[in-house]
Amino acid sequence: MTTRGPVGHVIVVVPARDEEDLLARCLTSVVAAASQLSGPTAHVVVVLDDCLDRTPEIARSFPVDVHEIAARSVGAARAYGVAVGLAAGAAPLSRTWIACTDADSEVPPHWLTSQLSRADAGADVVVGTVRPDPQDLTEDQLATWSATRVQGRPNGHVHGANLGVRADAYVRAGGFPHRPEHEDVDLVRLLAQDRRHVVVASDEADVLTSGRRYGRTPSGYAGYLRAALG
């Protein structure tokens, strides 16, 4: 990798739709991860997409920037959050990092510092791993899932719950498509096709995510778990 200069600002984007049961856990972890940054500033943007439960109330109880839309599209919600963050212009695009997770997920304290260490070494995209919440799985299901993972050998699967991208690369690729699912996969595919971009897979900052088998999108991670674990 070639060094492109240190990241000076991080935009964290969290889309949410009717996540009153899990959002507090998510935002507690994101705020904690942002507090671990030394030097770079952070702007946490939560995008509430057509919520009908207590998700807005919970989001506004945290020190984050909350916005509401009615797109019913995780791609549109992620793109909106990034646009809000970029509009602030806190740092040049080449020194701005976009980190994405989901409202049903919990990031580790070193989530952002791990991504930035790779960004500062030259990465334009960091594809992170996720693991299902063991409380949502039976012992057999957890054993089946665990058999698919080898520590230190990230599978490179794209998850919006654990994804980072440099802002200038994001803009060149056209950003997240306004799709109801797989917007994360589409963006990384476009970035990987451009040889100017360095894509790195990492399992250093594994993100805990809901093990539910029916999620907010027809497939996504919930669909994967349903097919793999029953």
Give the pLDDT confidence score for residue 192 in this predicted structure.
Answer: 95
pLDDT band (50, 70, 90) for residue 2: very low
pLDDT tens digits for 60-100?
A: 999 999 999 999 999 999 999 999 999 998 899 999 999 99
In three-state secondary structure terms, 59 is helix
This prediction's pTM: 0.92
* 97, 125, 150, 161 from 104: Cα distances, Å: 22, 22, 24, 9
CA–chain centroid gap for 211, Å, is 16
Domains of the chain: 9-229 (3.90.550.10)
The C-alpha angle with vertex 5 and arms to 43 and 174, in degrees rounded to 5, equals 60
pLDDT tens digits for 210-225?
A: 977 566 666 666 666 6
% pLDDT > 70, the chain? 90
pLDDT tens digits for 146-200?
A: 888 888 889 899 999 999 999 999 999 999 999 999 999 999 999 999 988 999 9
Provide Rg for the chain, Cα atoms. Answer: 16
